[in-house]
Amino acid sequence: MIKPELLAPAGDLEKLKIAVMYGADAVYFGGESFSLRAGAGNFTLEEMKEGIAFAHEHNVKCHMTLNIFAHNEDIGPFTEYLKSVKDIGIDAFIAADPGVISMIQEIIPDAEIHLSTQANMTNYRTAKFWYDQGIRRLVLARELTLDEIKEVRNNIPKDMEVETFVHGAMCISYSGRCLLSNFMIERDANRGMCAHPCRWKYALVEQKRPGEYFPVEEDDRGTYIMNSKDLCMLRHIPELIDASISSFKIEGRMKSVFYVASVVSAYRKAIDAYCSDPASYEFNPKWFEDMCKASHREFTTGFYFHKPDNLDQNYRTSEYTRDYSFVGMVKSYDSETGYAIVEQRNKMVIGDKIEIFGPGIDSFEQDLREMYDEEGNPIESAPYPQQILKIKVDKPVKPFFMFRKRKETK
């Protein structure tokens, strides 16, 4: 058994550091151009250098997304952009466009290139074609079943790796190659500007009855095109590892640091537990419970075990479940006094019951009893964004530990 890589999203420099600290083996990110997440924070060249250095210090690899489908006007700027990132230590490039791949190979001859899911890789003959082009890792299409993934794995060269998505949003278009955004509001999803129209609310309007809206409802035959539940394979780590999948990919470059920490932590614990003792492995429900304290939608296993049907869609709402707030991040801790320096992320008040969690530990609860501002004055409330606080904690903590609290029900 080969332990799989846990690959986490890094929408900006802070998220990269969180992913690294919470257990990712590799991170993927985009620069300011030529990535399919224009709405993410993305990285300047200097931020990339800092992030790569931080990741490499912790033996974590860095994959850069260059997975747009280029137009003629992109060729010149893309060539110059490749030259600017050539020598900064990127471990692999993720691409789908054959022209983009050829330019990477010309400008960075020793580059490791991973075939993006945007390339719709669904069979082993296509895999062999890409192997002959120098590709050594495939990010398989989300539309493959686990049996099909095994068949691909068994019919490709041993030195070709397979990467699959295990968690996150499921595009309703074939492997994410969406035309809705481009058609409806002229934001090209295949050039990084997707507006996620598949998450909008829709109704039917009859041509001769303007202003009369009829809800799109479900019957026993379908109409479930839009609004898939999110993918979650946390309960199926043994099956994924037994299928010899090389890398487990978490979607979410546009998600929060709280999401990245919660999801990466859960998958890290599950993978480690199974790989350390497969024979006696048992799924721990607390991994899932803690993961769901970050913003999330309902979950599905996607195409892994069956063709998605009405049970894999959400007809009631496209909203996220947000039962907990991320309220603070630890910057430092004084073991002699038991006080932590915490950066506020959402409002906290004395008397709040907070949960503290961090890499590799079980979360613990405590009441918020003491809180001071930067000048050392005791305060009852911390309402200001990124306010620096001194807080008494019941157990030792470390930088990057997080505070969360349950939201009050109205």
Q: What is the mean pLDDT of residues 80-100?
A: 96
Classify residue 205: in a domain, yes or no. no
Give pLDDT, residue 223: 46
Classify residue 200: in a domain, yes or no. no
The verdict on 135 and 240 lying in the same domain is yes
Average pLDDT of the chain?
A: 88
pLDDT digits (tens, 9 = 90+) for 348-394: 999 999 999 999 898 999 999 999 999 999 999 999 999 999 999 99
The verdict on 240 and 156 lying in the same domain is yes
Give pLDDT, residue 78: 93
For residue 261, give the CATH number of its domain. 3.20.20.70
What share of the chain has pLDDT > 90, as a percent? 70
pTM: 0.86
190 vs 196: CA distance, rounded Å:
12
Among the residue ranges 36-50, 53-67, 245-259, 316-330, the one predicted with the least confidence is: 36-50
pLDDT digits (tens, 9 = 90+) for 52-84: 999 999 999 999 999 888 899 999 999 999 999
Contact 403, 355 (CB under 8 A): yes
Residues 362/363/364/367 CA torsion (nearest 10 deg): 170
Q: What is the mean pLDDT of residues 159-188?
A: 74
| Axis crossing angle, helix 257-276 with helix 13-21, rounded to the nearest 10 | 20
Query: Residue 318 pLDDT > 90, yes or no?
Result: no
Q: What is the mean pLDDT of residues 335-345?
A: 97
The verdict on 35 and 152 lying in the same domain is yes
Give pLDDT, residue 63: 98
The verdict on 149 and 257 lying in the same domain is yes
> Token digits for 58?
């912790």
Render 119-173 in DSSP notation, one character per residue. G---SHHHHHHHHHTT--EEE--TT--HHHHHHHHHTS-TT-EEEEEEEE---SS
The verdict on 55 and 161 lying in the same domain is yes
Confidence class of residue 201 from pLDDT cuts 50, 70 and 90? low
Classify residue 199: in a domain, yes or no. no
Number of domains the chain contains: 2
Give pLDDT, residue 211: 76
> Token digits for 212?
């009369």
The verdict on 352 and 293 lying in the same domain is no
The verdict on 234 and 166 lying in the same domain is yes
Instruction: Give the burial class of 363: count Cβ atoms within 10 A of its Cβ; 0-12 exposed, 13-18 middle, 19 or more buried.
Output: middle
3-state secondary structure of 27: strand
Residue 342 forms beta bridges with which residues?
330, 389
Confidence class of residue 336 from pLDDT cuts 50, 70 and 90? very high
pLDDT digits (tens, 9 = 90+) for 249-270: 999 888 999 999 999 999 999 9
For residue 374, give the CATH number of its domain. 2.40.30.10
The verdict on 290 and 330 lying in the same domain is no
Classify residue 232: in a domain, yes or no. yes
Query: Residue 317 pLDDT > 60, yes or no?
Result: no
Classify residue 246: in a domain, yes or no. yes
Query: Residue 19 pLDDT > 90, yes or no?
Result: yes
Query: Residue 46 pLDDT > 60, yes or no?
Result: yes
The verdict on 155 and 277 lying in the same domain is yes
Residue 7 forms beta bridges with which residues?
26, 249
Classify residue 213: in a domain, yes or no. no
The domain containing residue 103 runs over which residues? Answer: 5-175+226-312
Nearest to 17 by CA among 32, 29, 5: 29
Classify residue 161: in a domain, yes or no. yes
Confidence class of residue 219 from pLDDT cuts 50, 70 and 90? very low
Give pLDDT, residue 68: 86
pLDDT digits (tens, 9 = 90+) for 112-152: 999 999 899 999 999 999 999 999 999 999 889 999 999 99
The verdict on 241 and 365 lying in the same domain is no
Nearest to 7 by CA among 295, 327, 240: 240
Is the Cα torsion angle 375, 380, 381, 386 positive or negative in sign? Answer: positive
Classify residue 182: in a domain, yes or no. no
Query: Residue 111 pLDDT > 70, yes or no?
Result: yes
Give pLDDT, residue 135: 97
pLDDT digits (tens, 9 = 90+) for 225-244: 455 788 999 999 999 999 99
> For residue 177, how many other CB atoms are within 10 A of its CB?
16
Query: Residue 173 pLDDT > 60, yes or no?
Result: no
The verdict on 234 and 382 lying in the same domain is no
The verdict on 76 and 109 lying in the same domain is yes
167 vs 23: CA distance, rounded Å:
15
Give pLDDT, residue 225: 47
330 vs 342: CA distance, rounded Å:
4
Among the residue ranges 46-50, 317-321, 358-362, the one predicted with the least confidence is: 317-321
- Top pLDDT among 397 and 1 is at 397
